Amino acid sequence: MEPTLYQPHGDLARFVRYFWTFEWHRNDAGWPLRMFATGVSGILFQHHDGRPALGATAQGQPIATGGCPTSFVYGKRTQPARTFSKGPFSLTGVIFKPQGLSTLLNTRPIDLNDGSVELNEFSREKIGEQLLNARTHHERVARLSEFLRSRIDGSRPEDVVVAEGLRLVHQSIRTIRVPHLLKCLNVSERQFERRFIRSVGVSPHQYIRIVRFQEAVRLIKNDRFERLSDVAYDLHYADQSHFIKDVKAFSAYTPTEFVRTVRASIGLPCALIPAHTQSPSTRSRDLFDQLKPLPTIPSCGNSHAPTGSVVS
């Protein structure tokens, strides 16, 4: 059970990495979805029989405040969080390229970090209702594609220096560091950080940390290494303690539980779904329960309409 990916076509590929869909058929209420830091932003449509399916408590009851609308735009996740399902659910999503929020949706990415806003804030045509009325995943992907294509003519140009920096980061994530980026781009640290935050939403240093952490998730998921120390070495962490620090900061797990969860979960672009719920003895070792309560995803309805959005 894995998400289905759809590639964007034509000019839309400048802004969108891919579309994706997923179906979860289990009736268990309160099934957890764990969000690690991902460093990506996108759009999510979630429902079951036309009603929101995510945003419940661990007991499967609706949360008291906030909650999830059926469709929303979310910013880059920089810290771990979790939510619970109310039962079965259907997901359709868009993953933007790093500058997609700022260029295609004409909004400041930093305003949506670890948050979200309803998709209809960006559409006079009430795209959220169109998604609810669509009958199939393919139709929803087509509606989202059409909606995003309609914004291309009014899109902003990407920052070419930031774009080259992003290319270098993803090309050499094991070894790249900010001083090397500055040397390659021939730009001052202050100027590059300002432009990077404006275009991407996080600092270059934080973005590199998150992308490198996500590469660790990929390596562990694919069973490339047996020991965490080998993962840390392959990704050129200064030492294992630095790697463990990032694991705890970006997943809220101890290293042992991090590996166990990644290997036993279904990976979605925005979350991990454990294949089995944890026993009480295992949960006692879960940092999600040892730390202060983490935010649910997303905190919709609490954000102001972003700059450049359309409010009817």
Q: What is the 3-state secondary structure (H, E, C) of 6-39?
A: ECCCHHHHHCEEEEEEEEECCCCCCCEEEECCCC
* 3-state secondary structure (DSSP) of residue 124: coil
As a whole-number percent, the residues of the chain with pLDDT over 90 amount to 71
Q: Where are the domains of the chain?
A: 4-149
Rounded to 5 degrees, φ, ψ at 246 are -70, -40
Average predicted confidence (pLDDT) for the chain: 86
Q: What is the mean pLDDT of residues 215-240?
A: 91
32 half-sphere exposure, CB direction, 13 A CA radius: 19
The terminus-to-terminus CA distance of the chain in angstroms comes to 39
- 27 falls in which pLDDT band (50, 70, 90)? confident
Q: Please state, in angstroms and rounded to a whole number, the distance separating the CA atoms of residues 63 and 86.
A: 10
CA proximity to 87, closest of 145, 23, 134:
23
pLDDT tens-place string over residues 116-169: 999 999 988 889 999 999 999 999 999 999 999 999 999 999 999 999 999 999
CATH code of domain 4-149: 2.60.120
Give the pLDDT confidence of 71-85 residue by residue, as tens digits.
999 999 999 998 888
Phi then psi for 276, rounded to 5 degrees?
-140, 145
Summarised one tens digit per residue, pLDDT across range 40-73 is 999 999 999 989 988 755 555 555 445 678 999 9
CA-wise closest residue to 85 among 54, 48, 58, 50? 54
Q: Which residue would you say has higher pLDDT here, 61 or 223?
A: 223
Closest CA to 20 of 42, 53, 47, 48: 42
Q: What local confidence, expressed as pLDDT, does residue 285 receive? A: 39
Cα–Cα distances (Å) from 57 to 8, 161, 287, 296, 301, in that order, read: 35, 43, 17, 9, 18
The answer on pLDDT for 219 being more than 60 is yes
Q: Determine the residue type at 234.
A: D
Crossing angle between the packed helical segments 160-171 and 204-221, to the nearest 10 degrees? 30
Which tokens in the block code for residue 249? 């900061």
Least confident of 13-17, 246-250, 263-267: 263-267
Contact 86, 56 (CB under 8 A): yes
Which pLDDT belongs to residue 62? Answer: 54
pLDDT at 201 over 50: yes
Element (H or E) spanning 187, and its range? none
Amino acid sitting at position 51: R
The pair of structure tokens assigned to 88 is 């079965």
Question: Which segment, 46-55, 84-93, 194-203, is predicted with the most confidence on average?
Answer: 194-203
What percentage of the chain has pLDDT greater than the value 70? 84
Judge whether residue 280 has pLDDT over 90.
Answer: no
Please, which pLDDT band fits residue 305 given cuts at 50, 70 and 90?
Answer: very low
